[in-house]
Each structure stands twice: as C-alpha cells, then as structure tokens.
Amino acid sequence: MAEGRGGTITMAHGAGGSRMLDLLEEVVYPALGKSALPDGEDAAALLLDGAEPGFRLACTTDSFVVKPLFFPGGDIGKLAVCGTVNDLSMRGARPLYLTLGLILEEGLPREVLGRVLSSAGHWAERAGVRIVAGDTKVVEKGAADGMYINTAGVGIIPPGREVSIRGARPGDLLLVSGCVGDHETAVLSRREGFDFQVEVESDCAPLNALVETMLEVGEVHALRDPTRGGLAASLKEMASASGVSLEVREADIPVREGVRAFCEMLGLDPLLLANEGKLLAAVHPESAPAVLEAMRAHPLGREAAVIGSVLEGPRGRVSILTPLGSSRLLRMPSGEHFPRIC
C-alpha cells in the first residue's frame, strides 16, 4: 500500500525514489487500467500508422514546482524546457515541439511571469524546439506558490536508433557527462540561505546536442538523466530495467568541491542529489573511447568520465567501490532530502 499516514500522499512520493515507484505500481497504474502503457522510460516511443518506415514518435510530459522560481544558474522556465527536452533525448529522440501549461497564483507580479517566459523562450530556441501550444490557469492566493509549469514534449526517433533504460549490456562501460549534484545544491543554497565560499550554479541545460554527438560516434545502449534521486536512483533504475548489475568506482565520479562541502555540512551523499543537465550512459566498450572524447569536446561534457561497468546479474544490484578499496551496495533512495527541487 502506498505509504503515508491514513493512506495519504507524502512529499516522499514525488521524490523519484522507491516510494514514488510504490505509488505508481500500487495506485496509479492499477487505477488507469488498460489505458496505461508504463515502461519505465523517460519518454514513450510510439509507432504511427502511415509514418515513414523506421521512424517512431517520442512523447513525454513533466511538471515543475521548483522553489524558489529563480536560483543560481536557472529558473523555472529554463528548467521546464530543458527537463522536457532531456526526457526526449534520453530515448534517443530529436526533440521538436513542446507545450507549456501555466498555473499562476493570484498576486504573481507580471514582471516575474515575463522573466520566466522570456527564459523559457530563450532556452527553447537554444535547444532547437518550438513551443506550439499552451494553457493558462489562475488559482486563488495561497493555492499555489507563485507559479507551476506543466509541459509535454514530442520528438522523432530516427530509424535504427534504439536507446532505452533497458538497453545496458554486460561489458558496457558507464559514463557520466560531468560533476553530479550541482542543481540541487544550487537550489537549496538559494532557498535555505547557505553561504559557500565558491557558489555552485545549477547545471540545468538541454542535452539533445550532446546526445546527438555521442550517437554519431559510438554505440550507446542506455541513457538516463539523473534528476530526482540523483545518480544513485538512475544507476538502480538502469540495473533493474536492463536485468544486469553495475559496478561503480566512487573515486571516478566527478563532484565539485562546493557540492562536497555542502554534503559534508548537511551529512548528505552527492550521489543522491538531483541534476538537470547531466546524463548517465551505458556504452559498448569498443565505442567508449570515441564517445568519451566526443563528450569532452562538447561544452556540456567537458568533465565527462568513465565511472564503472555493466556486469552479468544479479538484476538491479549496484556496488560502489570506495577509495579505501572496500565495496558497498547502493540502495534505491526512498525519498528526497528536500522537496521541490525541480
């Protein structure tokens, strides 16, 4: 049964960890019945009657409730566009169109709305996508926290391209595109008033161009952007969905010093912190050197690193090799440390 006193929803159910999975499997999917086609992917890949042979449609949706609306390195408008573009990209799709639904709280300054939408438009242009439909609703003061945004995204998966969270194979190498934990650290530092000697900015960015570069030079089997639940959740999801185990070297995972300081201060694990402009990839070992080189040549992949490898089962097992030479098993995070970071 979905956890929560009296069977109610808790903040942990929206955190991207095990409690959210429980909610989906125990309440959401059964209630939707045969109308639902859950497959654990960031975006659905659909065949369309009459479409050019080999092409598939990718479709996704997302909602954004980040607090505060503006944070170092981004804002809710940028986050909405980049997050949706990235969900499509993790399926190997070329993002084309987005929708933008606004839920505005009575009393929100027009200047704030204008800044958020200007940012959304700028980043849509940067990502090469068009915002083709939208909706606006206003709720009473106190019924929201400034504004929320809902998006949908559509893209095309070219023929022969098969990238899936279920695609990791034994022997593949695991790559990350850069330092983990920047986004959640940036949002919390602004919201909670933490003062670091070196400010950490959100990594929020559209990853579609980086993914295209990777797919042009090598055989990429699986992709995931480690948002809620961080790199830890993405590793567990990939291992479980692909029916494999993963082995990761902790010392090879890039983490910025500001993020380390933040985690040490609060007793957090950087692998659990959300990212909005990073990806985890499972790559054929013969392709990995070329893919890594291409990533490091791209502005969003300069800090890319090989962090581990894919092994034969047991399914869903993720082991972390520590710098001291010991090993620990990674568990799926149950919830989030702090709510509303995306």
**pLDDT per position as a tens digit, 237-250:** 999 999 999 999 99
Q: What is the pLDDT of residue 6?
A: 53
Element (H, E) at 122: helix 110-127
CB 336 within 8 A of CB 11: yes
- pLDDT reading at 91 higher than 50: yes
Question: What are the phi and psi torsion angles at 320 (to 5°)?
Answer: -110, 120
pLDDT in tens, 151-185: 999 999 999 999 999 999 999 999 999 999 999 99
- CA of 322: how far to CAs of 249, 251, 262, 330, 342, in Å? 7, 7, 20, 12, 30
Average pLDDT score, the chain: 92
pLDDT in tens, 9-46: 888 887 777 888 888 888 888 888 878 777 778 899 99
In angstroms, the CA 21 to CA 26 distance is 8
Of 61, 128, 48, 63, the closest CA to residue 94 belongs to 128
> 5-9, 80-84, 212-216, 307-311: which has the minimum mean pLDDT?
5-9
Using only C-alpha atoms, the chain has a radius of gyration, in whole angstroms, of: 19
Element (H, E) at 19: helix 18-23
Proportion of the chain above pLDDT 90, given as a percent? 76
Instruction: Tell me the pLDDT band of 198, cut-offs 50, 70 and 90.
Output: low
- CA of 303: how far to CAs of 294, 296, 342, in Å? 12, 6, 23
CB 220 within 8 A of CB 291: yes
pLDDT in tens, 111-150: 999 999 999 999 999 999 999 999 999 999 999 999 999 9
In angstroms, the CA 78 to CA 69 distance is 10
In angstroms, the CA 70 to CA 146 distance is 11
Instruction: Tell me the pLDDT band of 218, cut-offs 50, 70 and 90.
Output: very high
